[in-house]
Amino acid sequence: MSLKPFNKLPELNTANVLLVENEERFQKKLADAIVLLENNVNVIVRLARSLPLPLENAESRPRIDLVVFIVHLNSEQSLLSAETSLKHLDSGYFLGKVCFLVTGARCGTLPYERLTSLKKMAATLNSPLLMTEDKTAEGVNTAAQRVLAVLRVAAGLVPMATGLYLSSLTRCTVPNDPDWQNQD
Amino acid sequence: MEARVSAITTPRNETAPHRRTKSYGFSRRSLGVELTSHFGCTPGQLTAVRIPTSRGIPKPRNLTEQVDPEHVALIVKKEWKLSYVTPLYQFRHTQLQSYSKQLASFLVAEKQQGVAVEVGQELGFKVVFTAALGLAETEDDAETVLIQIQSKSAFAAEGETAKVVWSGWLSCVSGDVEYLKALPPDFTCLPLFGTSGAESLTTLVMSWFERTFDCYFGPLGINSTNLEWLAALWTGCHSDTNIRYLKLAWTVPAQPPLDVSYTVHPQDAWELWDSIRQESGLRDTVDIEEVNCFIRGLESHFFRHFRIYLSAGTLTKVATSLGSAHKDGKIRIASSDMMTSVLALLTECALLKMPI
């Protein structure tokens, strides 16, 4: 069963975010940072290794406003796992309720192909791609701020803005790529 | 009115001397217009680079006919630490003799720095620069240069041959033609630098090159995609020359960290590679998808036995009897037949590091 964005009613003054990461290295730190940063709104962070989510507590699970896929560029498995998880999301999520978080993009010894294929994936899904640093506290904090900014909009807490509107401005594009233009 | 006219003509006069730099910039930009390539960003610098998605089938090339066998023997069988070098300014292949003298005196001067009285046997260095003619594949490639440093002992007996303490080479094999053509005329592009010997001598040689030819050295790692290319390249040679084994090493980030060494029987590896090649039709090129498929096949076989996802880790080493390559930029080429193919791949890695 795929996760649906609109089959449950939202709760008052609450934002739910789901962090999906196969390695479980970064999500805990990021979750703590997100919760500490936000004071006005009740932010609930849920963690998962991959989708689909288990059926047992599907009923009690609140509506999830934003799904964040964390991809580490230093392992192929991380990318493959995110790719398979994506299939279990309802298409409604791709109207501004999905974002990708990448770590390790600065490392010079990693294959460039991984970042390129991830960029293509994010671009086809009209989703934003955030580059983050997971090694330093400062980097985690910045990542948390960015995710939170997207989350507030996706959860409908910002007047006059919707997730779809934001993602049409921030979605990942692959410019100057002839292969990409041909697919269009 | 007059003021306006002069305001138009002034920039026109100014643009004339800039024309060369303009055309230079344009040709660089045209790098990406080719349809078979795609863009990526080199981390740390905002340059668009070209990553090939398919290559020609490597053909074994008998080097001994074109290249002096002695030169080939110097490169083969040693383990080399790789670096990349930006293009050398005013490097001349005709001046190798004088470079030998300059480098030797530079080394002696550096070694004597801060030493009041010379003690020990390392009295002098003899440096030999040689051009290994014939290694270049296209006419734009600069010829490979071999460097050897021999230490002269003060108390050496007559006729005793000097000991080689350090060796290295600068090479360019099948470099990207558009890049090489776009270089200004005074530059020689030999982007690949292999060294073997004491680390202290390597740094001295590098600093001499940096001062003399206004270039810059940096470490050249071989990323997992390129290691996968090498694994496929060597496996594909099994029908011609027996590769004896295919060894792959992974590091899996687990608690505690797991080092996996995976040895495949050459016939099995070749059959897997051959079936992938047959499936995608017999063409003259190898695609990255086929290479990926080959490695994924090996990984899934491993998973069936040990329940470990190798793709969660990083590929660190590839070895066959034809050669070995390590992620940190160490390479050993054991067979001269495949030397040009391997050097071409490494040249390409080095060219991706060039500032554009």
For residue range A13-31, list pLDDT tens digits in order.
999 999 999 988 899 999 9
Please tell me if residue A23 touches chain B, with a CB cutoff of 8 Å: yes
Cite the DSSP H helix spans in B214-338.
Answer: 224-236, 266-279, 288-306
Look at B49 and A178 and tell me if their CB atoms are within 8 Å: no
CA distances to A30, A115, A124, B22, B117 from B32, in Å: 37, 18, 21, 17, 58
ipTM over cut 0.90: no
The pLDDT mean for chain A works out to 88
pLDDT value of position B9: 37
CA distances to A106, A144, B308 from B268, in Å: 37, 48, 21
pLDDT value of position B66: 81
Report the alpha-carbon distance of residue B231 to residue B251 in Å, rounded: 17
Look at B225 and A111 and tell me if their CB atoms are within 8 Å: yes
Pull the structure tokens for residue B330: 């160490």
The pLDDT mean for chain B works out to 81
Q: DSSP string spanning A41-72?
A: SEEEEEEESSSSPPSTTTTTSPPP-EEEEEEE
Report the alpha-carbon distance of residue A115 to residue B349 in Å, rounded: 17
Give the strands of the sheet with A42-48, arranged side by side: A42-48, A14-20, A66-72, A98-103, A129-132
Picking from A144, A164, A146, A145, the residue whose alpha carbon sits closest to that of residue A154 is: A164
Nearest beta carbon to residue A116 from set B34, B40, B312: B40
Among A residues 165-184, those touching chain B with beta carbons less than 8 Å apart:
174, 176-180
Counting every residue written for chain A, the total comes to: 184
Look at B312 and A110 and tell me if their CB atoms are within 8 Å: no
Looking at residue B101, its amino acid is: K
Look at A23 and B33 and tell me if their CB atoms are within 8 Å: no
Q: DSSP string spanning B187-219?
A: EE---EEEEEE-HHHHHHHHHHHHHHH---EEE
Map tokens 């004597």 to a residue.
B112
pLDDT value of position B159: 63
Mean per-residue pLDDT, B179-206:
93
Q: How many CA atoms lie within 13 A of B91 on its CB side?
A: 28
* CB pairs A-B closer than 8 Å: 66
Look at B35 and A115 and tell me if their CB atoms are within 8 Å: no
Please tell me if residue A103 touches chain B, with a CB cutoff of 8 Å: no
CB contact at 8 A, B143 and B133? yes
- Give the end-to-end CA distance of chain A in Å, rounded to a whole number: 30
Q: Please tell me the distance in Å from B33's CA to the nearest CA on chain A.
A: 7
Residue-wise pLDDT tens digits, B18-69: 333 333 333 333 333 333 333 443 333 333 445 677 787 777 777 777 888 8
Query: Cα A1 to chain center, whole Å?
Result: 20
CA distances to A11, A12, A39, B81 from A36, in Å: 20, 20, 7, 47
Please tell me if residue B32 touches chain A, with a CB cutoff of 8 Å: yes
Closest residue in chain A to residue B35, using alpha carbons only:
A178
Please tell me if residue B292 touches chain A, with a CB cutoff of 8 Å: no
